[in-house]
Chains A and B, each alone.
Chain A
Amino acid sequence: MNKKIYRLIAGGLSTLAVIGTLAIQPAQAAGYVAPVNGSYVMRLVSPLPGSTNSVNLTADAKGDWDQFYGKGLNAFAMYADIKGDVSLTFKYTNAAGVAISNATVYLIVNKKYSCSKTTFSTTMSTNYPGSNRPNTSSIVRDWCGDQPQMGAGETALIGRTDSFGKATYTMKNWNIAGEQYPAAINKLNQYSKGIACGDDTMCLQTTLAPSMSAHPTESAERGEDKDLVFLHFVNPKLTALVPTQKVKAGTSKVISFKLTNLAGAAVKGTTVTFEAYGEGDDVPEWSDISDANGVVTTTVTAAKGTLGLQVIRAKVYGANKGTDAKIYWIK
């Protein structure tokens, strides 16, 4: 998110004695300003966030950083394929629900202070803060903490609404490695921290916010009820084609893994590295690039007489976690 997050005061509760009755009520941090309804409403309509494809973080936003936005703030975490194309459509209306048609609107990418480490290219027009005459279609990462570059990555994609009040934004991700493939796309995995990743190398997200302004002031943004999207980019799913098998020692065996994306389609051209643990020889091929079917292979061998378990671990290049195939060397 693009604002300093004010935390609730320690303890989060204050006590108040009222005529012999102990009453407990929540208290907000000093300076908290309750949000009010915005003049504009902007919602993600494609992909349509729901219980099957997103994690609703709206409750996390309430009573805290919602103060920097309109009262109708929603927050969603969603997943996208690393190096994939992103297409998001937002609908812009006024508070009465009337579509804002044929208007210039924006999607703010790598929102300032969000520590978004994502990089993109886009064929859309862009607007950068600071220097307003860039000559690049590349969107660079935001920076974390107190580094002087913090906020430098914030970029506004410039869209134009149609007669239905909708604008579509497209960009392509260019990060090398993403998060571990999630267990489910409607649940946060342990590497997708929902909101900001900080400098966690196992977390890769961009904070996206629609707006009526390229780089809205705080007061302007308080007038906007919007869907904030925390888009997490994940590596392809790596699956061992044969997870466990017995192989006669003294022979060799080709071990195959398949890479698939969030849509279940094969992922071509991704580098996968291999590691071997346990019995048997080391893998001769350190890495492989997935073919048109999304398949990578390596060969395992073990000297005659070898007995026991060997684990072949495949990792998408740059990933922290891998997928194992188990070989039991037998006589």
Chain B
Amino acid sequence: MSSLVVGLLAVGGVTNAATVNSSIPKPKTISTVAGNTSVIVKWVKATASQKYKITGYRVSASKGTWESVKTLSSKATSVRFTGLSNNSAYRFSVSSISGKSLSSALTISATPKAALIRNSILFGQPTDMYLGAEDQQLYAVAAGPDAVFTSLTPTICSIVGTSVHAKALGDCIIRALAPGNSFYSASIPVDRLLTIGVEPQPVVKTLLWSDEFNGVQGSAPDSAKWTADTTDGCGAPYNNCGWGNSEREYYLASKNTQDGSSQGNLTIQANRQTSSTNYSCYFGKCEWLSGKISTYNKVGFTYGYIEARIKLPAGDGTWPAFWMLGSNIATKPWPGCGELDIMEYKGSAPTINYGTVHYANSSGAHEYRGGTRDAMVDLSADYHRYGMLWKPDEITFFLDDNVVYSMRKSDSGLARWPFGPDAQGKDPSFYAILNLAMGGQFGGSIDPTLNQATMNVDWVRYYSIDGVGKVNAK
């Protein structure tokens, strides 16, 4: 038996000067859990012998000349030391106490440290690349150490420094990982996919027809291109009172004029009439005079891209439109001839543009499909471009190059639709229409304080796309 005297706090009946007796059973194991400025010391209790009853445990923490000692009951199996310095090694000892004597000690070292913060990362979406393009710089912001990039698709792309290099066609997946250090643990990895593709051939857009409306002030639009529709729709050749929609306007050719400005606009003006008006409508004295022109019997269009730059009228009840009808309407009445509403708008919803496709279903009944785009700006406040990309099997409407609505032939459920080749393989022809209707089923109630509304058209242009598209005489 060996014995020595150690310093001990006078707690639990053990004096500062206790004798170490190696025969006293010592704790079986010792372990530590290091935390932020603290360490928890754990041990497995000693097994008391017949001779030596365990009355407690003495646990100490020390570093250099500094020491902290805790005396605990025989039931204790752990103790926490706090107020320690992070990143500094401490020595911890546990001895069993039996009466006034101590067992030999179990010792262990531990270093308290601040809890690691998980590194976070914001990894910007890389843009898709064409094969042969310059390497693309990758961007990632990490809270701790800088991100490291790895290609998860090394046959498609590789990492050069902090850039991605395109090696082959396909989908390239880049992983960004912000590593850890003494303050941070590594981030959760973030993966981004970019596609390596072939640079497409540019679309060939060829202007085939246009009207810039550059005529002198007050002149009618070019009669080689446009015909004015007149009246309220009653009577020949229209026989369609209220233009089929209970509209409140009466069209006059004189309401369609060119403004002679440097920009050159077509102006379609609607004016409220008084009870003294000379014009009679299907409902009585006409309420509004307005204008409508079309290319019917002048020029038709087949496929391609048509677009108009228009400033729409303001006011509840206005219903301007830029639209097309099948040139065969005389022999194949609506809806069989088809109708393409590139732009419809109602002044009561001044930010919304409507694009609609009308046709006859397999039973010959009218069907229509359409969509809207909320421009988030008042469309009557400025000019906007309203366009239609027409393919034999797909119609797509645009507002300032943004899709408004698109319909494929397959959506119609028809084997043939009026916007593609007929049974004989003959392509359709459609004519363009510009008008300003008032009220009616779509325009809704007209603001009683509204006395005038103006629709300005800067131009109408028609293009072939990649050689597809043609202008037809009539």
- List A residues at the B interface (Cβ < 8 Å): 45-46, 48, 50, 52-53, 89, 91, 99, 101, 104, 122-127, 132-137, 158-160, 162-166, 212-214, 220, 263-264
Contacts and interface: CB of A to CB of B under 8 A. Distances in A.
Nearest to A91: B195
Contact of B128 (A122, A159, A160, A164): A164
Contacts of A52: 188-191
A158 B120 contact: no
A135 B190 CA distance: 39
B122 interface: yes
Given A101-B200, A133-B356, A162 B128 contact: yes
A162 B195 CA distance: 11
Given A48-B193, A123-B374, A214 B356 contact: no
A90 to B, nearest CB: 11
Contacts of B403: 104, 125, 158-160
Interface string B368-382: 111111101000000
A104 B374 contact: no
Contacts of B190: 52-53
A79 B371 CA distance: 29
A48 B128 contact: no
Given A48-B192, A164-B197, 19 more contacts: A45-B193, A46-B193, A52-B188, A52-B190, A52-B191, A53-B190, A91-B171, A101-B200, A125-B373, A126-B373, A132-B356, A132-B368, A132-B371, A136-B372, A137-B374, A160-B403, A162-B128, A164-B128, A263-B122
B349 interface: yes
Q: Please name the 5 residue pairs, one residue from A and one from B, whose CB atoms are nearest each other, closest first.
A: A104-B406, A137-B374, A125-B373, A127-B371, A164-B195
Contacts of A125: 371-373, 402-405
A24 B133 CA distance: 57
Contacts of A263: 122
A263 B199 CA distance: 35
Contact of B406 (A124, A158, A264): A158
**A interface, over-half SS:** loop
A126 B372 contact: yes
B432 interface: no
Nearest to B122: A263
Contacts, number: 93
Contacts of A46: 125, 192-193
Interface in B352-387: 352, 354, 356, 368-374, 376
A158 B405 contact: yes
Contacts of A50: 191
A283 B396 CA distance: 59
19 contacts: A46-B125, A48-B191, A52-B190, A123-B376, A125-B402, A125-B404, A126-B373, A127-B371, A132-B371, A137-B372, A158-B403, A158-B404, A158-B406, A160-B396, A164-B197, A166-B128, A212-B408, A214-B371, A220-B410
A135 B374 CA distance: 8
Contacts of B388: none
Contacts of A160: 396, 403
B372 A133 contact: yes
A125 B352 CA distance: 10
A132 B404 contact: no
B135 interface: no
B22 to A, nearest CB: 43
B200 A163 contact: yes
Interface in B410-445: 410-411
B146 interface: no
Greatest chain A CB density within 10 A among B193, B404, B411 is at: B193
Contacts of A89: 125
